[in-house]
Amino acid sequence: MLNHTSLPVMERTALRINPAKTCQPIGAMYAALGIHRCLPYSHGSQGCCSYHRSHLTRHFKEPVMAATSSFTEGACVFGGQPNLLQGLRTVFATYDPDVVAVHTTCLSETIGDDIPQIVGEARRQDIIPEGKFVIHANTPSYVGSHIIGFSNMCQAMAKYFVEPSNGRRYHPDPKRINIVPGFVDPSDMREIRRLAEATGLKPVLFPDTSGVMDAPQTGEHVFYPEGGTTIEELQTMFRGAATFALGFWASREAAVEVETRAGVPREVLDLPIGLAATDRYLDTLRFRGGVITPELEHERGRLVDLICDVQQHFYGRKVAIFGDPDHVLALAEFCRDIGLIPVHLLTGTPGKRFTKEATRLLGPTVASAINIRQEGDLFLLHQWIKEEPVDLLLGNTYGKFIARAEDIPFVRVGWPILDRAGHSLLPTVGYMGAIRLVSRMLDALLDRRDRDAPDHEFELVL
């Protein structure tokens, strides 16, 4: 399928081939699903909303509810205000959400619809019932990526719900912390919360899709599952002793907004994927008053024991990693720690900080000797791999084509994973997530060894 991928790497400024990202509204829609009784609302064409819903559904294997302004030719010419007003009227009458989270698309952004003005008009016309909320985020599809869209909607949550301090600092609850978990699976959000609670702290995650995008099957359809961050939790984030942003790209702006509005200090951490990043996460919790329990120490010890047991199979093997920037950086550090050699790191999300962060995590000597690219595409990654082959490929489902073309062991991690199931129920973060990652990477390498081994080297034991 990819046998026409050329070997020479040529710089391209106006063309992307298989970009390692998708558009902002998908990230905004996923973030909105993390608010309890929230209905995401796509201000654009019906086709855009259908694509975003279906793509999320294919990854999570869960139905994704969302509304749309259903633009027609008339809205494209005269603006989408009538569509949005009618849409809000219908949504509140039919589905009765507590929050409607409006995000824009490329069409409404190009037209220049003023969403705050339209929402204000909806209030003047009593379209929005008393006690209900409409928030919005500008998410043009033609810039950024789904990670930026997620970040923009998280920032909107803080902007609309966090009460401004107006210069005064509330007395925080020393045990309460706000956590922006980043663009991760619901299982990861649950694990992030569990680790914080295990130290004795009281975390408030925003957004929190656990219990929403991994709701149990009961035989009955529930339009608004029990999970999600409540409005009360969002409105009282000023009580937090700190706000942790897990991942610079997906989470930082929301933490900055909370700090700006309520004076809650922020701390930006790496996604807690792997041993070192999870250690830093727990150490920061300890600094904020958490207690590292023997149970957490035992979890860490089991991960270290597994790494020691299998390190000979990883040592010196080369790995290529692509996907969302926060994931790629955390995975690269973890691979380095267990003996793998990251040689190709690529993300489709734009931003000049990616190389700097890779240098911080891997060290300048390592970073200067490998391929690192922000706002790259999978065509470039394939060219890199042709020039310098690797033993293992880590990334989302779209990497399967490169893995097949170059015959590389492939481990699916990140978003989206469209051709496998169970990934949204099993965490990647924390010590337990790292144990799962090590096991999956080892299985991929050993399956390849067994497949290629001659009879006299076909081993029965590890």
Dihedrals φ, ψ of 87, to 5°? -65, -45
Cα–Cα distance measured from residue 344 to residue 131, given in angstroms and rounded to the nearest whole number: 50
Positions of E strands within 79-191? 99-104, 133-137, 176-180
* Res 8: pLDDT: 79
Verify that 283 and 313 share a domain, yes or no.
no
Tell whether 7 is covered by a domain.
Answer: no
**Dihedral angle of Cα 423, 298, 315, 406, to the nearest 10 degrees:** 0
Tell whether 10 is covered by a domain.
Answer: no
Verify that 186 and 236 share a domain, yes or no.
yes
Verify that 68 and 193 share a domain, yes or no.
no
427: Cα separation from own chain's centroid: 13
Verify that 289 and 360 share a domain, yes or no.
no
Verify that 258 and 336 share a domain, yes or no.
no
* Res 169: pLDDT: 62
Tell whether 163 is covered by a domain.
Answer: no
Tell whether 35 is covered by a domain.
Answer: yes
Verify that 272 and 380 share a domain, yes or no.
no
Q: What is the CATH number of the domain that holds 429?
A: 3.40.50.1980
Tell whether 48 is covered by a domain.
Answer: yes
DSSP letter for each residue of 394-427: EESGGGHHHHHHHT--EEE-SS---S-SSTTTS-
Least confident segment among 74-83, 143-152, 287-296, 326-335: 74-83
Residue-wise pLDDT tens digits, 241-282: 999 999 999 999 999 999 999 999 999 999 999 999 999 999
Q: Residue 247: which residues within 8 A CB-CB, separation 6 or more?
A: 182, 183, 269, 270, 271, 325, 326
Q: Find the mean pLDDT for residues 78-106.
A: 93
* Res 117: pLDDT: 96
Res. 2 pLDDT band, cuts 50 70 90: low
* Res 11: pLDDT: 78
Verify that 337 and 440 share a domain, yes or no.
yes
Res. 321 pLDDT band, cuts 50 70 90: very high
Name residue, tokens 């509204």.
25
Verify that 137 and 277 share a domain, yes or no.
no
Whether the pLDDT of residue 73 is over 80: the answer is no
* Res 462: pLDDT: 77
Q: Is the peptide bond before 416 cis (omega within 30 degrees of 0)?
A: yes
Q: Which residue has the higher pLDDT, 139 or 79?
A: 139
Write down which residue in 293, 318, 349 finishes a domain: 293
Number of domains in the chain: 3
Cα–Cα distance measured from residue 441 to residue 166, given in angstroms and rounded to the nearest whole number: 50
Share of the chain above pLDDT 90, in %: 82
pTM attached to this predicted model = 0.94
Mean pLDDT of the chain: 93
Whether the pLDDT of residue 185 is over 60: the answer is yes
Identity at 93, one-letter amino acid code: A
Residue-wise pLDDT tens digits, 363-385: 998 888 899 999 999 999 999 99
Q: Find the mean pLDDT for residues 206-218.
A: 93
**Could you list the residue range(s) of the whole structural domain that residue 203 is in?**
176-213+226-293
Verify that 334 and 412 share a domain, yes or no.
yes
Tell whether 336 is covered by a domain.
Answer: yes
Least confident segment among 142-156, 168-182, 408-422: 168-182
* Res 200: pLDDT: 97
Tell whether 433 is covered by a domain.
Answer: yes
For residue 66, which of 80, 86, 51, 85 has the smallest C-alpha distance? 51
| Sheet architecture: strand order including 38-43 | 67-68, 38-43, 99-104, 133-137
Tell whether 92 is covered by a domain.
Answer: yes
Verify that 263 and 310 share a domain, yes or no.
no
In the chain, how long is the greatest CA-to-CA distance? 80
Sign of CA dihedral 394, 9, 146, 22: negative
Least confident segment among 3-7, 189-193, 211-215, 402-406: 3-7
How do strand 392-395 and strand 410-412 relate by DSSP bridges? parallel
Write down which residue in 293, 322, 350 finishes a domain: 293
